[in-house]
Homo-oligomer: A and B are copies of this chain.
Amino acid sequence: MVARMVTAAPHRFSDEQRHGVYRAIYERRDIRSRFVPEPLPDDVLSRILDAAHHAPSVGLMQPWEFIVIADAGVRGGVREAFDAANRRAAGAYVGERRDLYDRLKLEAIVESAVNVCVTCDPTIVRGHGLGRQTMPETALYSTVCAIQNCWLAARAEGVGVGWISILDLDAIRRILAIPTHVVVVGYLCLGYVSAFDPEPELATRGWEDRVPLAEKLHFDRYGVADAARAHALAQLSETAGRGR
């Protein structure tokens, strides 16, 4: 094969399109408290779901399923399941941390426009097992990629998404009639919002801080941190414009 020199990255998006991608990534938020009582138009929901459906999947397995949940009775049941799980989860915290936990709003099951439960059937033959013999967990990972696509497409549409993980999965399975061989990967609340906060709520409320990128970088082997190089590399995205 003849080596081709790539000059100025010919397949790179236009600045404005690239800015859109980075905006979606940086301005995406996990929404729980800012949903407005506005329905989500079907065409917008359809585009968001189709974006999810075009995630990468191991062996082109496409193991995901999307349960679109509008029914108030079903949502009420899920909300009750959340409340029970959340009471148990809160019990793990004491003192100031418990006070902080109790002030966090951690779901929007009933007041969001629509819920979407994303499941994975790791037993399907589709994909013919390619890549799954060594890493069977990649079926689940593919489904998570679908959720992240959904989240980013939603942000571009001005739609907020909250991923609820404080759930009793047995209860969810019962309420949504999900067979035992199907894995519940994510339970999402979607809808228009009054605002997208500039930073994650867990950061502004003092639950947890952002880690600098430089602290996440290793070179050639795990634990080879090379602080100067990591800092220099991380610095480039800050100064070269991350699209904000």
Chain A interface (Cβ within 8 Å of chain B)?
A: 3-6, 9-14, 16-26, 28, 30, 36-38, 42-47, 49-51, 53-56, 58-62, 64-71, 74, 85, 88-89, 92-93, 97, 101, 104, 106, 119, 126-135, 137-138, 140-141, 144-145, 147-149, 151-153, 155-159, 163, 165-169, 175-179, 182, 185-186, 192-196, 200, 202-203, 207-211, 213, 216-224, 232-238, 240, 242-243
Contact = CB atoms under 8 A, between A and B. Distances in A.
Given A11-B196, A20-B20, A157-B18, A50 B237 contact: yes
A174 B168 CA distance: 37
B166 A25 contact: no
B38 A6 contact: yes
A148 B148 CA distance: 7
Nearest to A160: B11
A168 to B, nearest CB: 7
A240 B19 contact: no
Contacts of A235: 46
Given A24-B13, A179-B222, A60 B200 contact: yes
B71 A186 contact: no
Given A49-B237, A59-B202, A89-B133, A64 B208 contact: no
A211 B126 CA distance: 10
30 contacts: A3-B37, A4-B194, A5-B36, A9-B158, A11-B195, A13-B24, A13-B158, A14-B16, A16-B16, A17-B156, A21-B152, A30-B56, A43-B240, A46-B235, A47-B240, A50-B238, A53-B211, A53-B216, A60-B200, A60-B202, A65-B218, A67-B221, A67-B222, A89-B134, A106-B131, A135-B167, A140-B140, A140-B141, A144-B148, A179-B222
